[in-house]
Amino acid sequence: MTSYLIRRLLLMIPSILGISVVLFTVLAMAPGDPFEELATNPAVPPEVRANLRASLGLDDPIHIRYVNWLFAMLKGDWGFSFVSRIPVDDLILQRLPVTIAVIGASQVLALLVALPVGIYAATRPYSIFDQIANTLAFVGFSLPTFFTGLLLILLFSIHLDWFPFVYRTQLDSTGWQWWWDQFRQSIMPVTVLGLFQGAALVRFVRSAVLDVIRLDHVTTARAKGIPERAVITRHVVRNAMIPVVTLVALQMPIIFGGAIVTEQIFRVPGIGSLLISAVLSNDTPVIMAVTFVFACLVILFNLIADLLYGWLDPRISYR
Amino acid sequence: MTPAPRLLEIENLQVHFSTDDGMVRAVDGVSIGVDAGETVCVVGESGCGKTVTAMTVLKLIAMPPGRIAGGRILWQGRDLVPLPPEGMRAIRSKEIGYIFQEPMTSLNPVYTVGEQIAETLRHHEGLSRRAALERAAEMLRLVHIPNPHKRIHDYPHQFSGGMRQRVVIAMALACNPKLVIADEPTTALDVTIQAQILDLLNEMKERLGMAVLLITHAMGVVAETAQRVVVMYAGKVVEEAPVRSLFAAPRHPYTQGLIRSIPRLDLAATEHKRLEAIPGTVPSLLNPPPGCRFAARCRHATPECTAAEPPLREVAPGHKAACIHAESLAA
């Protein structure tokens, strides 16, 4: 197990290097100049601009720039944002907690909805409950978050005025009031993202449970005379969770991506909105850093999925 | 004084399955009795309703689409058909153990075999985790699995097919049931392992004094284990007899065909005789033919055979057959 983990961690290094080369090259070749604005500003003479570019190393050949970036990263220097002049790692650390809180809460919500509904539907296939759950799940993941998000804002923020439609990091309140305000402003983004994830997950949980419930060992469990509840939880759900857990772990990075849209709609100052504003202003160091973080998350969650799979399924051994 | 009730008495059992094509009468008026300490074999080819009959005793068939349409299942005189689920659970494993056909799939892959045997014990005997695991190890030793205290911590995939079937048997016997239903326990195994498992079943039966209802399609297995044999065809019992009498003088043409289709090594090697098969296949149970269901495949069939359903009647002491020509076929 330990040697497996070490080997997997070592294998992550070439993957990460490869991803960073591709990301860096694509960004370097992308059109757009971070100093566009300076060019249109008559107060800045062209020589100053050229000096600035040279001092930032922007005129070096691409492979030199990549090596420079790589060694700087290794030393923990993520560079500075061209726009705000703030260190990129500070920017990311500032935004990451909000994103993790929103994504974490929505994922918990998704599981809280999908697990009971999916399991219950699968134990009574084609019942009224199953059909309603299936239909709602289908509607749920057919509706994009940018649509349901706007709908919720229109209904709850504008018509009913229950929840704020802009998410603020700096809340004026303190103590319990702070928690309450935090809850109130998170509820819509978390609901939109959570129900969207949950809708897809319901169908997956249902089919995973249905796959197991037909198996012979479930009949064996029934023949033991243990209560039906124990048959379902111990012999059906436990086995069906193997693919579900793996899927959830593998989907985590994708959820980060999906959260970008939701963050834009609800103005959640998370890592997604950081990326969007960086893209809009050609802020290459920030784009590079954020996409690189996403890429690392994908690799990390792949490893987590593999570990969980082996942990849940004794037939898998780490070798 | 009324005679003591038999251990298990299946009376005129009817099990129907509703399918897209209509109602399938999988079990159509089957009666089987098992006395304490006795081994009864149910024989028949695939699809004749023997597994459904066996699973219905513990109500393990899926309901719906399955349905017990009629008949009684008397367990020590008490009818199990109207019994609610809780009542059934008290009987499963505790009083009637069940051994499944496929040892490869009948164990849950994510629990150790010890946990799976212990689960039954903890539920029915109220044992603690430790005590149940200790008993599980004892059960493994009883079914001759080496290193039982180590092996209870292994998962099913770490056992071979024969060893897994031993585990399944240990699980079925854990609560010391009065009857064990074994549904083709050797079909999925190699021939050499089959003999070992049959020996084990016989040994367990001697030691624990339970009755066995053995479902099989292999006549060799019947000869080796049974005291009484029930031959099923297309959802019905066609012959019932003590094992000696059945092999010595089978009365139903289907039974005769089954016995003739047993491969014989001596004849195959010396006389190059082709194996005798019964022509045709089991009729559809959606629309069973009128009269005797075997008539279409029977070499002795006469027009009277398809006129009316032949009743199961006593043709010799303790020997019943459902064939109107039973007497002339005694040969």
Instruction: Write down the pLDDT at residue A60.
Output: 75
Give the model confidence (pLDDT) of A248-273 as tens digits: 888 888 887 777 888 888 888 888 88
Asked if the peptide bond before residue B64 counts as cis, ω within 30 degrees of 0, the response is yes
Across A131-140, A153-162, A163-172, A290-299, the highest mean pLDDT is recorded for A131-140
**For position A198, what pLDDT does the model report?**
92
User: Quick check: A315 contacting B, CB < 8 Å?
Assistant: yes
- CA B47 to CA B28: how far, in whole Å? 13
Element (H, E) at B183: strand B179-183
| pLDDT computed for residue A40 by the predictor | 67
Q: How far is A120 from chain B (nearest CA, A)?
A: 17
What is the pLDDT, as a whole number, of residue A112? 95
- A242: which chain B residues are within 8 Å (Cβ-Cβ)? 110
Q: What is the pLDDT at residue B136?
A: 94
Q: Is A123 on the interface with B (CB under 8 A)?
A: no
Residues of chain A within CATH 1.10.3720.10 domain(s) are 88-312
Helix/strand/coil (H/E/C) assignment for every residue in A251-300: HHHHHHHHHHHHHHHHCCCCHHHHHHHHHHCCCHHHHHHHHHHHHHHHHH
User: What Rg do the C-alpha atoms of chain A give, in angstroms?
Assistant: 24
Contacts of B158 (CB under 8 A, 6+ apart): none
Q: What is the pLDDT of residue A244?
A: 93
Instruction: Decide if B89 and A239 are in contact by the 8 Å CB cutoff.
Output: no
Share of chain A above pLDDT 70, in %: 95
Does B105 reach chain A within 8 Å, measured CB to CB? yes
Pairing outcome for strands B8-19 and B22-34: antiparallel
| Residue B72, min C-alpha distance to chain A (Å) | 20
Is the pLDDT at A1 greater than 80? The verdict is: no
Residue B107 has its nearest CB partner, among A220, A226, A242, at: A220
Structure confidence at residue A126 (pLDDT): 87
Question: What is the average pLDDT across A170-185?
Answer: 78
Does residue B172 contact residue B106 with C-beta atoms inside 8 Å? no
pLDDT tens digits in sequence order for chain B, 331 residues long: 566 788 999 999 999 999 888 888 899 989 999 999 899 999 988 888 899 999 999 999 888 788 999 899 999 989 999 999 999 999 999 999 999 988 889 999 999 999 999 999 999 999 999 999 999 999 999 999 999 999 999 999 999 988 999 999 999 999 999 999 999 888 888 888 888 888 898 898 888 889 999 999 888 888 888 999 999 999 999 999 999 999 999 999 999 988 888 877 777 667 766 777 888 888 888 888 888 989 888 888 888 888 888 989 998 888 999 998 888 876 5
What pLDDT was estimated at residue B58?
Answer: 93
Q: What share of chain A is helix, strand, coil (3-state, %, to 5)?
A: 75, 0, 20
Q: What is the mean pLDDT of chain A?
A: 85
The three-state secondary structure class of B73 is strand
| CATH assignment of B8-104+178-321, among 3.40.640.10, 3.40.50.300, 3.50.30.50, 3.100.10.10 | 3.40.50.300
CA dist., res. A98 & res. A43, Å (int): 39
pLDDT in tens, A185-217: 888 888 988 999 999 999 999 999 999 998 999
pLDDT digit string, tens, across residues A274-290: 888 888 888 888 888 88
- Domain A88-312 in this protein, CATH class: mainly alpha
pLDDT for residue B2? 61
Q: What angle do CA A158, A160, A162 make, to 5 degrees?
A: 95
- Cβ–Cβ of A221/B108 closer than 8 Å? yes
Beta bridge partners, B181, equal: B98, B213
Q: Does A211 touch chain B if contact means CB atoms closer than 8 Å?
A: no
How far is the C-alpha of A162 from the C-alpha of A172, rounded, in Å?
18
pLDDT of amino acid A130: 93
Cα(A282)–Cα(B33) distance, rounded to whole angstroms? 85
Q: What is the pLDDT of residue A145?
A: 83
Is the CB of residue A124 less than 8 Å away from at least one CB of chain B? no
User: Residue A139: which of A195, A84, A95, A93 has the closest Cα?
Assistant: A195
pLDDT of res. B306? 87
Model pTM?
0.82
**Cβ atoms B137, B149 nearer than 8 A:** yes
pLDDT at A30 over 80: no
The DSSP bridge partners found for residue B39 are B212
Contact A28, A20 (CB under 8 A): no
- Position A220 confidence tier, pLDDT thresholds 50, 70, 90: very high
Q: What is d(CA A52, CA A86) in angstroms, rounded to the nearest whole number?
A: 17
**Residues A40-79 pLDDT 10s:** 667 777 777 777 777 777 777 888 888 888 888 888 888 8
The residue among B96, B99, B106, B180 with the most chain A CBs within 10 A of its CB, best to mutate, is B106
Write the CB contacts of A319 (distance below 8 Å, at least 6 apart in sequence).
Answer: A4
Alpha carbon dihedral A102, A153, A201, A99, in 10-degree steps, equals: -20
Helix, strand, coil distribution of chain B in percent, nearest 5: 35, 25, 40
| Domain residue limits, chain B | 8-104+178-321
Inter-chain contact B58–A223, Cβ cutoff 8 Å?
yes
Confidence of residue A235 (pLDDT cuts 50, 70, 90): very high
How high is the pLDDT of residue A39? 63
What is the DSSP track for A109-162? HHHHHHHHHHHHHHHSTTSHHHHHHHHHHHHHHHS-HHHHHHHHIIIIIIIS--
